[in-house]
């Protein structure tokens, strides 16, 4: 959906006549041959963006450690707000005309179609770049190269598919809405998306309630602005519908975030690690669930907000388990580093399950987000 939306930004729109003229110049070729050229065109785009996604994900451990620092989180948020200001029209990002002319040349053959796709991102960069940079930071924080590849290849498909169909199917250009003021509205929507990402990155350094209200406030402000305050108009009737839809969506998301936080169950009651606590658990014949997490870790937050707030998980934990939280955000104290080494924690989240003798059940260990039913199943196995 993000890739498709990027097609509506002013920087991508000029690519439409370039694409159509490039494929339209192959009038002697069959529809199948045009489809192959179009496929290579999209694959070229996907290769460029996916390489960025994999590179960002491979730096995940570095980025994860870097994002422990409040100063870095604030810096990322400021950068995203800076790019958002560009999309709001406060300043303009333009490429040198020499790069534009190189990217807009026509290249022949199948390799030419691939090369056109590879250079497509250069022309689109002024509008696509801010969004992609925000996405790169998020993918790097996940630290999963395969997921980074899939996310950016999917984004590329969304960006390239409309151009693919326009190139292969003749006569489609005249049916498109004419460029105009409505494109500036699309830029504002993308700008609010970057503001939301900025709020997402500063959320870990805020109290839980403040972080939720910040995200909700951004969603409400975005909905009210692009839906009803903004006075942009367009010649086609559907534009009014999309404005109202965007405004309603932002309002609903903001209200949902606030409502879900206010109505959330208290969840698991965590205790801070101590050797005495483990000895007491063994003496009472209780199993232990030990969660290694960090404030900058996205799957850790999902575990806390979804899985460990599930009423069934909380009830099971209160009855038969000792629940221990180990915060590795700073890794500053000796005891935390010792625990990381003792339990061979390679990253977060890592959830360790210890039986009533204090021995880990390696087969039950979690190293990623898991829904409540999977955690309940592991807890049941541990009790046996």
CA distance 196 to 80: 9
Q: Three-state DSSP class for 68?
A: coil
Residue ranges with strand state E in the chain: 271-272, 287-293, 321-327, 350-354
**Residue 358 DSSP label:** S
Give, in order, the Cα–Cα distances in Å from 28 to each of 24, 25, 31, 34, 170.
10, 8, 10, 10, 13
Phi-psi region for residue 76, left (φ > 0), alpha (ψ -120 to 50) or beta?
alpha
CA distance 138 to 251: 24
Give CA torsion, residues 99, 101, 103, 105, to 10 deg. Answer: -160
**Residue 172 DSSP label:** -
Give CA torsion, residues 24, 26, 28, 34, to 10 deg. Answer: -90
Point out the residues that are catalytic.
297, 300
CA distance 306 to 264: 9
CA distance 202 to 292: 21
> Do the Cβ atoms of 23 and 160 come closer than 8 Å?
no
Give CA torsion, residues 301, 346, 288, 374, to 10 deg. Answer: 60
Element (H, E) at 90: none
Residues with Cβ < 8 Å from 56, sequence gap 6 or more?
Answer: 63, 136, 137, 139, 140, 148
């Amino acid at each position: 959906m993000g890739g498709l939306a990027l097609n509506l930004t002013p920087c991508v729109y000029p690519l439409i006549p370039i694409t159509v003229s490039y494929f339209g110049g192959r009038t002697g070729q069959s529809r199948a041959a045009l489809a192959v050229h179009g496929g290579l065109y999209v694959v070229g785009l996907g290769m460029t963006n996916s390489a960025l996604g994999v590179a960002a994900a491979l730096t995940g451990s570095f980025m994860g450690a870097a994002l422990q620092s409040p100063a870095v989180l604030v810096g990322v948020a400021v950068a995203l707000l800076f790019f958002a200001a560009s999309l709001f029209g406060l300043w303009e990002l333009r490429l040198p005309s020499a790069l534009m002319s190189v990217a807009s040349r026509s290249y022949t053959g199948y390799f030419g179609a691939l090369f056109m796709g590879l250079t497509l991102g250069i022309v689109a960069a002024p509008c696509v770049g801010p969004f992609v940079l925000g996405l790169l930071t998020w993918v790097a924080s996940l630290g999963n190269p395969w997921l980074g590849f899939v996310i950016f290849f999917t984004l590329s498909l969304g960006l390239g598919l409309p151009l693919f169909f326009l190139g292969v199917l003749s006569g489609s250009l005249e049916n498109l809405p004419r460029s105009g003021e409505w494109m500036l509205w699309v830029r504002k929507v993308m700008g609010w998306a970057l503001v939301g990402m900025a709020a997402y990155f500063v959320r870990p350094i805020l109290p839980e309630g403040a972080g939720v209200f910040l995200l909700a406030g951004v969603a409400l402000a975005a909905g009210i602005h692009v839906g009803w305050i903004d006075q942009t108009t367009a010649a086609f009737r559907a534009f009014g519908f999309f404005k109202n839809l965007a405004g309603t969506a932002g309002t609903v998301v903001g209200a949902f975030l606030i409502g879900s936080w206010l109505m959330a169950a208290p969840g698991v009651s965590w205790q801070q690690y101590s050797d005495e606590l483990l000895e007491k658990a063994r003496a009472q014949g209780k199993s232990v669930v030990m969660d290694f997490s960090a404030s900058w870790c996205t799957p850790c937050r999902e575990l806390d907000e979804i899985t460990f707030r599930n009423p069934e998980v909380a009830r099971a934990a209160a009855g038969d388990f000792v629940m221990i939280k180990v915060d590795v955000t700073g890794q500053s104290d000796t005891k935390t580093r010792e625990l990381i080494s003792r339990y061979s924690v390679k990253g977060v989240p890592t959830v360790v399950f210890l039986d009533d003798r204090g021995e880990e059940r390696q087969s039950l260990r979690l190293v990623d987000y898991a829904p409540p039913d999977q955690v309940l199943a592991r807890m049941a196995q541990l009790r046996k």
